Amino acid sequence: MQQKFIIDGVKPLIGEIEVQTAKNAALPIIAACILTDEPVVIEKCPHLKDIDAMLDIMRHLGASVEFDGDNLTICCHDVALNVINSDLTGKLRSSIFILGSILSRCRHAYISHPGGCEIGLRPIDLHISGLKSLDVKIADDRGVICCDGTEMRAGMVNLDFASVGATENLMMAGALLDGETVIVNAAREPEIVDLAQFINAMGGRVSGAGGSVVRVIGVKKLHGCTYKPMPDRICAGTFLAAAAATGGSITVNGIIPEHIFGITERLKQTGAKLGFHRNSIRLLAAPRPRPIHKLETNVYPAFPTDMQPQLCAVLARAKGSSVVVENLFENRFGYTSELAKMGAAITVKDRVAVIHGVPQLYGATLRASDLRGGAALVVAALSAEGRSAVYGVEHIDRGYEYIERTLTELGASVRRADCGS
């Protein structure tokens, strides 16, 4: 049965929380487990719908998968070259990561076009063209991407855009090839560094991750390991934004502060005061947020597109007008029509949103249609006067591990209920 959140707003968030492991780090790491036939243990793996979808794909390929509390053990001793059909890929954009790891180990792969949130086209052209640069032959057979890597070899790949997914896919593709694969104009996100460290923990040779040129020297064999992925910078940013929206004061522990400077610098502009320690961030919100003259999303280390909706929810109550420019996804402002139900004054044209802050938002019946837009609705509802019902919780569950529990720890009034209740 589908579920909803019931949220009673105008309660400042106060307290301390521990941030979960990063979904966007764990997903490619799970895919990279295919590179070895030995067991891999991923510590503190989050229990999320996107993780479940990736694990379904791994099982389909013959992997054994077992959770022991928060520790996930994956063994890909026998990998079967089954077609990964649309029933599996339609749930998860990150299913495309599987291509690089399967090709590196098996030299063939068959996968239906991936799905995910409907926030833009997000074409996989960069993945395909990058693999072709490594001499992979690729054809589209009625929606199935058929990859023949029998003549696959290491080489240089120059990405037209610093795509996170394409960079990760190519790192995995090159891990077991003879010679050196060089990825030019590589993405620099912390999740890239995390994947490189994981491959190296298995005996791989990846260098330059975090810079614009990544080098992968192929090895004959990778071994199993135990690895703890990085903390989730977007989850940390979401809870900090929720505190800023509600006039709260929170400490987020277990985070790497430099990973989210692009977020925290913008929160400072809303009037919030922030303190940084080695693995924690403390935020003291302004009574009412200040506007941001111009906020633009871009690739790391700039302000991330995955935080744009949540910060717009904060700016909806700012004392003045803000302009937000979305440079990465053409359909990311869909959630603003839901904020309008709460009294927000937002005008959207193409990839630009003008937000005229209002003194107060009001509870409403809302529907999430994607992961981060859903998080924005929760942030807005927490700051709104009265009660809100947020439907489409399944989208939020894709990236936040029991978000209602964490918010309740901070003093929010949030409960999960079946839609029929």
Task: Indicate if 117 belongs to the active site.
Answer: yes
Q: Is the pLDDT of residue 119 over 60?
A: no
Rounded mean pLDDT, 295-314: 97
pLDDT for the residue numbered 117: 52
* Domain end point (choices 227, 259, 288): 227
Q: Is 244 found in the same domain as 199? A: no
Q: Is 167 found in the same domain as 316? A: no
Give the chain's mean pLDDT: 95
Cβ neighbours of residue 218 under 8 Å, at least 6 residues apart? 154, 174, 175, 176, 177, 178, 179, 180, 181, 205
Q: Is 11 found in the same domain as 74? A: no
Contact 105, 177 (CB under 8 A): no
Q: Is 10 found in the same domain as 31? A: no
Token couple for 405: 């529990």
* Domain end point (choices 227, 255, 287): 227
Q: Is 408 found in the same domain as 294? A: yes
Q: How many domains does the chain have?
A: 2
Contact 307, 238 (CB under 8 A): yes
pLDDT for the residue numbered 91: 77
Residue-wise pLDDT for 320-354, tens only, equals 999 999 999 888 999 999 999 999 999 999 999 99
Domain holding 369: CATH number? 3.65.10.10
Kindly report whether the peptide bond that precedes residue 257 is cis, defined as omega within 30 degrees of 0: no
Q: Is 188 found in the same domain as 52? A: yes
Residue 333 CA to residue 347 CA, distance in Å, equals: 10
* Domain end point (choices 204, 227, 250): 227
Catalytic residue among 33, 45, 75, 117: 117
Amino acid making up residue 181: T
The residue with tokens 């009673």 is: 8
Q: Is the pLDDT of residue 207 over 90?
A: yes
Q: Is 344 found in the same domain as 277? A: yes
| Alpha helices, H only, 257-368 | 261-269, 308-315, 336-340
**pLDDT confidence tier of residue 122, bands split at 50, 70 and 90:** low
List the domain range (segments joined by +) for residue 114. Answer: 23-227
Contact 111, 144 (CB under 8 A): yes
Residue-wise pLDDT for 137-186, tens only, equals 999 888 888 999 999 999 999 999 999 999 999 999 999 999 999 999 99
Q: Is 213 found in the same domain as 68? A: yes
Q: Is 174 found in the same domain as 251? A: no
Token couple for 253: 């522990």
